[in-house]
Amino acid sequence: MARWLLHVDLDQFQAAVEFRRHPELRGLPVIVGGNGDPQEPRKVVSCASYPARARGVHAGMPLRTALRHCPEGVFLPQDLPAYAAASDEIMDVLRTFPGRVEVLGFDEAFLAADTDDPERLAREIRTAIEELGLTSAVGIGDNKTRAKLATGFAKAVGKSGAAEEPIPGAGAGVFRLTADNWTALMAHRPTTALWGVGGRIAKRMAALGIHTVGELAAADRAALAAEFGPNTGPYLWVLGHGAGDTDVAEPREPVGRSHSETFAADLTEHAEFDAAVTRLATLVAEETIAQGRSVQRVGVTVRTSTFYTRTKQKKLRGPTVDVDEVVRTALLVLHAFELDRPIRLLGVRVEFGPEPG
């Protein structure tokens, strides 16, 4: 039997959990975030249902902006304990299937399995998740990279290329992407279609004449190394070929939690810096506490417009489950930087303390 990697991705997860306990909301533009008040400052969308997304709402958008896009939206508060419990249900179900599971977050995981019929296994997984009142898409690949990208084809009807013909099997909830169909399905797509390639890296590649996945696969590795460094450059070339890990990571006890944000436009005002760190620190603190963990150290990462990146951190006087204390500490760490340049990325990480007794 062959080794297959399956990427399981839950659809509109937080909204779907809300639909499970509020069936009357199905089909409505549901927007989850903050305390459910769209006028609340410094709060962002954590999940939008598909009808809300059709109106231009997306995760990370300020709630006030979401209200302008979708005034008829149903705004709900985040219920992190409920999402964590639902996630645990899903991961427990995945562990009942043959193979090993690597959890990526609340709503996605890899399953490595030895099977002659990965599509059948994927359909069985989707059916088991549906029995929990949730829906999912499953990408199948001969490695993690292709399995992850296959999920995108599983969710939406793709186009095959110049002829713009629908790709057979796309949009059906299960899709296989391997070395055999990689070039046909991916070579013509922009480099941003690759897992881990964002707009800024794509722009730097475009300056080298690399616009598509196929051009990246055919690129000079030395030129990529010269532009992106001896590690990142060759790694990008490998991504262009669709290569990746062929097994899941051993489960390990997490020692912390983090969130970061790369901004569409560089931040230039100190009030903007404070607002972003407050938002990120609140999110990571709430998720940590929902896990039943305390916080004993807070770190902040700053990346400027010149790509200068540095992290500073501060240990608390004692472990805490106070969100406000985590936010205050994150702001103190932020203010320890010389904030004299535009900022393109901010991140907040906490290290766990002892579990609250």
Give a yes or no: residue 299 inside a domain.
yes
**What is the spatial distance between Cα 222 and Cα 4, in angstroms, rounded to a whole number?**
32
69 and 141 within one domain: yes
Domain boundaries, position 92: 1-147
Q: Say what the pLDDT of residue 132 is.
A: 87
247 and 122 within one domain: no
CATH number, domain with residue 279: 3.30.1490.100
Residues serving a catalytic function are 108
97 and 23 within one domain: yes
275 and 241 within one domain: no
Burial degree of 71 (CB within 10 A; 0-12, 13-18, 19+) = exposed
115 and 17 within one domain: yes
Domain count, the chain: 3
Q: Say what the pLDDT of residue 353 is.
A: 87
306 and 232 within one domain: no
Q: Say what the pLDDT of residue 294 is.
A: 93
228 and 295 within one domain: no
306 and 236 within one domain: no
Give a yes or no: residue 180 inside a domain.
no
Kindly give the confidence (pLDDT) of every residue in the chain, 357 residues in length, as a single tens digit, with 9 standing for 90 and above. Answer: 799 999 999 999 999 999 998 999 999 999 999 889 999 887 889 999 999 999 999 988 999 999 999 999 999 998 888 888 888 889 889 988 888 899 888 899 999 999 999 999 999 999 999 988 899 999 999 999 999 999 999 987 665 554 456 788 777 899 999 999 999 999 999 999 998 888 889 999 999 999 999 999 999 999 999 999 998 999 999 999 999 888 887 665 668 888 888 787 889 999 999 999 999 999 999 999 988 899 999 999 998 887 777 889 999 999 999 999 999 999 999 999 988 889 988 999 999 987 655
Task: Give the contacts of 2 (CB within 8 A, at least 6 positions apart).
Answer: 114, 115, 116, 142
Half-sphere exposure of 161 (CA within 13 A, CB side): 11
